[in-house]
Amino acid sequence: MRNALLADGIEAYIVENTVREHPLLAELHRETQAMSNSGMQIGSDQGAFMGLLARAIGAKRYLEIGVFTGYSSLAMALALPPDAQIVACDVSPDYTSVARRYWARAGVDAKIDLRLGPGVATLDAMIAEGVEPFDIAFIDADKQNYDAYYERCLRLVRTNGLILLDNMLWSGQVADASIHDEETDVLRALNAKAGHDERVDAALLPLGDGVLIARKR
């Protein structure tokens, strides 16, 4: 999970000195690294940071859009209290089967409601259902729909709740005005949008591949 935005050795220093990674998270990290799409997994430093944020705001309801093999959902399930509720959204039964296995081994599977299907449709169904607001949401799925996910999370997250979006620096490509492809342009536009959005307070951190944090006003 090399962070291309950090100088060599800095990420390793952060992890070695400040990250207390649960043994099952470390095992899941190793298993995922053997997969062809392993770069989709967040790093242990990011998982620790997300858990810290959840604890700091007293989160009990967490929404995740993009599960992959379950590192972020497992990290959050371990950080949240026993009565927490997690809704995890993804389209892949294959990748999420790995996540389910680790949730069960960690004894947190009862906290997690996995919903398989297109993300926008899943979120729209929850809005129509009038679900209890979430304290924190994490978006880490198909980049083309990031703006749609952001808008829906603003309706699903409580006032003073947090929306976290992954890959918002896109290996630095969003800062290079000469690069124009669909994913880069979507992420670049959303960074600018969130930065001027009066509905939120926003900060963009060079953590992992860039994490945008928006607090709903």
Q: What is the pLDDT of residues 57-110, one digit of tens each?
A: 999 999 999 999 999 999 999 999 999 999 999 999 999 999 999 999 999 999
Q: Is the pLDDT of residue 113 over 60?
A: yes
pLDDT at site 1:
52
Query: Which position has the token pair 């995890």?
Result: 88
pLDDT at site 8:
78
Judged by phi (left if over 0) then psi (alpha if -120 to 50, else beta), residue 87 lies in: beta
Q: What is the pLDDT of residues 6-34, one digit of tens each?
A: 887 898 899 999 999 999 999 999 999 99
H/E stretch holding 21 reads: none
Identity at 24, one-letter amino acid code: L
- Quick one: tokens of 116? 């398989």
Contacts of 187 (CB under 8 A, 6+ apart): 143, 146, 167, 168, 170, 174
SS3 89: strand
The β-bridge relationship of strands 211-216 and 157-165 is antiparallel
Residue 15 burial (10 A CB sphere; 0-12, 13-18, 19+): middle
**Alpha carbon distance 14, 19 (integer Å):** 7
User: Do residues 60 and 85 make contact, with C-beta atoms less than 8 angstroms apart?
Assistant: yes
- Quick one: tokens of 92? 């892949």
Put the strands of the sheet holding 134-139 in their side by side order. Answer: 112-116, 85-90, 61-65, 134-139, 157-165, 211-216, 200-205
Q: What is the pLDDT of residues 149-190, one digit of tens each?
A: 999 999 999 999 999 999 999 999 999 999 999 999 999 999
- Quick one: tokens of 145? 């729909």
Q: What is the pLDDT of residues 208-217, one digit of tens each?
A: 999 999 999 9
- Spacing of C-alpha 7 from chain mean position: 24
In the CATH scheme, what is the code of domain 10-216? Answer: 3.40.50.150
The pTM assigned to this predicted structure is 0.96
